[in-house]
Structure 1
Amino acid sequence: MNIQWYPGHMAKARRLLGDQLKRVDIAVELCDARAPLATRNPELDRMCAGKKRLLVLNKADLADDKSTQAWLRHFRAQGLEAVAFRSTNGKPRDVLAPLERLTAGEVERMRARGVNKTVRGMVIGIPNVGKSTFINRLYGSAIVKAADRPGVTRANQWVKVGQYLEMLDTPGMLWPKLADQDGALMLAFLGTIRDAITDMEGLSVKLLDRLMDMAPEATAARFHISDTGLRGYELLEEVCRGRGFLLSGGRLNTERGAAVVLDEYRAGKVARVTWQQPV
């Protein structure tokens, strides 16, 4: 299964991002805490060079807590300001406090000149990493459109999230060629890549295999899997039998089973698994 996805609107977003970065004081990069390396666009290091940056491990409520703390130590050891944020009930101050600290010098310089400085930040990251939901959480209500699928944000929108802080929501941006296919597989698991371009049944089988290796009890309980030794397509068939996904004549509805496996994993209903560990 070779996974590639780079639609035209991402190429446009890539061209515009450099110009937009010149107009902001700080870049807020979001990655998914379940796969912190795979969900970071490698082009952003170059594009954000010289710019203050805060790395947010988003959706930490869906990842393993110990792994998230290990990743925070890893990134901080590299000199990156990094915080974890729970997408469902995260506290805005967990993000606003480090943002204020990072931009305090510029604010004070402007105040000394008699100017009330409004700090402008840009939220950047790959598709479906939770940028719009993150901004809504900081704002306190649903001010920007958000959905649990890639490609919802197509235009830029400024949102005031504090007395002196505005955030810009931007479209998600992948890089042109996904050379690391194991990382690309993780992106597909997380819904970063549109399901329409992948083999959903094949993807769900790979996901089930990995979940059964890393969280067998939780996965078996969620999907009514009685034989924890099953692997491959037999696992998907077992899910269909356990959930009663049948077609006429008693045939298994594996298409529906695949969709349910992917949807329930992405919604955090299966297990809190982190796919990558720092080295």
Structure 2
Amino acid sequence: MAINWFPGHMAKTRREIKENLKLVDAIIEIRDARIVRSSKNPDIDDLCGNKPRIILLNKSDLSEEKVTKEWIRALSKDNIRVLTVNCITGEGLKSIKAVVNELLQEKHERKKAKGIVNITDRVMVVGIPNVGKSSFINKVAKSSIAKTGDRPGVTRSRQWIKTKIGIELMDTPGILWPKLESEETQLNLAFTGAIKDEVMDIEELALKLVERLQDKYPQKLMERYKLKELSETPLDNMDNIGRKRGAVIARGEIDYNRVAVMLLDEFRGGKIGHISLETP
């Protein structure tokens, strides 16, 4: 199932990130805690270089806690901190300011030595589509999402956003990368909604999801859809789920579109359970 989705504005965003990097003190990179590897744009490392970075594992309420802790240990480095957050409820976001201060401690000390007391840290927010960037910004911004005006060297359309946590954010549109190499990455992004459903066959996508869940989380799949047992064949399991949910049309045939929409919605909403599709 080949999936590639790289609209023209994403190439433009990549250029903007590179051009505006010199204007920020640090990077906040948001990933999906369920697919930590797949929701990392491989271009980000090259674009951001050695800039201090905070990786926010968003939707951590939907992932398996044990696996998420493994990811935190695996990703943490000298200039990279990793936090689990929920950008809808705001859980974990209060820790960000202290982590920014820690990462930029030397820079702050240099400024204070020059007599600069009021220090405002500027941070660029990056991430793939539908990973929670807008929710994050809305949660930490003031209610009006106040703009502080253009800075030197920034295009007229680029605005800085004040926040409740004492930093200014530069937002960037969500970007994927030109070629998604592995089918696993393609599917993980599609399962979680990072790629628009409209550009793919959602019935085939849902069948792939059933196949993945019956392999990694068979008990959760059975419990959610009240199945006494699972077949080895994903299509048979999808049929049984359809019958359990009454997605049956004329002559007892399964309404696969209805089953597909339901499966994807319930997975994305966490109704099937805490699921991590990748481990470090």
TM-score by length of 1: 0.88
Residue in structure 1 matching 2:161, options 159, 162, 168: 159
Q: Provide closer, same or farther for how the CA distance between residues 156 and 238 of structure 1 changes in structure 2, counting only shifts above 3 A.
A: farther
Q: Provide closer, same or farther for how the CA distance between residues 51 and 196 of structure 1 changes in structure 2, counting only shifts above 3 A.
A: same
Measured in 1, the distance between the counterparts of 2:77 and 2:124 equals 24
Q: Provide closer, same or farther for how the CA distance between residues 238 and 105 of structure 1 changes in structure 2, counting only shifts above 3 A.
A: same
Q: Provide closer, same or farther for how the CA distance between residues 11 and 77 of structure 1 changes in structure 2, counting only shifts above 3 A.
A: closer
CA contact (8 A) 1:35 1:186 kept: yes
2:30 equivalent in structure 1 = 30
- The Cα shift of 1:193 comes to 0.9
Q: Does 1:211 align with 2:224?
A: no
Measured in 1, the distance between the counterparts of 2:145 and 2:249 equals 42
Give the length in aligned residue pairs.
268
- The Cα shift of 1:275 comes to 1.4
Opposite residue 91 of structure 1, the aligned amino acid is: G
- The Cα shift of 1:156 comes to 5.8
1:152 equivalent in structure 2 = none
1:14 equivalent in structure 2 = 14
Measured in 2, the distance between the counterparts of 1:225 and 1:143 equals 47
- The Cα shift of 1:227 comes to 3.1
In structure 2, the residue corresponding to 1:38 is in which secondary structure?
coil
Q: Provide closer, same or farther for how the CA distance between residues 189 and 163 of structure 1 changes in structure 2, counting only shifts above 3 A.
A: closer
**1:35-54 alignment to 2 at 5 Å?**
35-54=35-54
Opposite residue 229 of structure 1, the aligned amino acid is: S
Opposite residue 241 of structure 1, the aligned amino acid is: R
1:273 equivalent in structure 2 = 275
- The Cα shift of 1:142 comes to 8.6
Q: Provide closer, same or farther for how the CA distance between residues 82 and 242 of structure 1 changes in structure 2, counting only shifts above 3 A.
A: same
Measured in 2, the distance between the counterparts of 1:77 and 1:17 equals 22
1:56 equivalent in structure 2 = 56
Residue in structure 2 matching 1:259, options 261, 264, 272: 261
CA contact (8 A) 2:32 2:59 kept: yes
1:70 equivalent in structure 2 = 70
Q: Provide closer, same or farther for how the CA distance between residues 132 and 163 of structure 1 changes in structure 2, counting only shifts above 3 A.
A: closer
Measured in 2, the distance between the counterparts of 1:230 and 1:157 equals 53
Residue in structure 1 matching 2:192, options 190, 193, 206: 190
Opposite residue 96 of structure 2, the aligned amino acid is: V
Unpaired runs of at least 5, structure 1: 145-154
Deviates more, 1:80-89 or 1:116-125: 80-89
Measured in 1, the distance between the counterparts of 2:110 and 2:79 equals 24
**1:43-122 alignment to 2 at 5 Å?**
43-76=43-76, 80-89=80-89, 90-115=91-116, 116-122=118-124
Q: Provide closer, same or farther for how the CA distance between residues 142 and 239 of structure 1 changes in structure 2, counting only shifts above 3 A.
A: farther
Unpaired runs of at least 5, structure 2: 147-156
The CA RMSD over aligned residues, in Å, is 2.2
2:226 equivalent in structure 1 = 224
- The Cα shift of 1:62 comes to 0.8
Opposite residue 240 of structure 2, the aligned amino acid is: E
- The Cα shift of 1:103 comes to 2.1
- Percent same amino acid among aligned pairs? 38
CA contact (8 A) 2:94 2:165 kept: no
Deviates more, 1:217-226 or 1:19-28: 217-226
Residue in structure 2 matching 1:172, options 174, 194, 211: 174
2:152 equivalent in structure 1 = none
CA contact (8 A) 2:52 2:80 kept: no
Deviates more, 1:96-105 or 1:28-37: 96-105
- The Cα shift of 1:166 comes to 1.0
TM-score by length of 2: 0.87
Measured in 1, the distance between the counterparts of 2:83 and 2:237 equals 37
1:150 equivalent in structure 2 = none
CA contact (8 A) 2:120 2:166 kept: yes
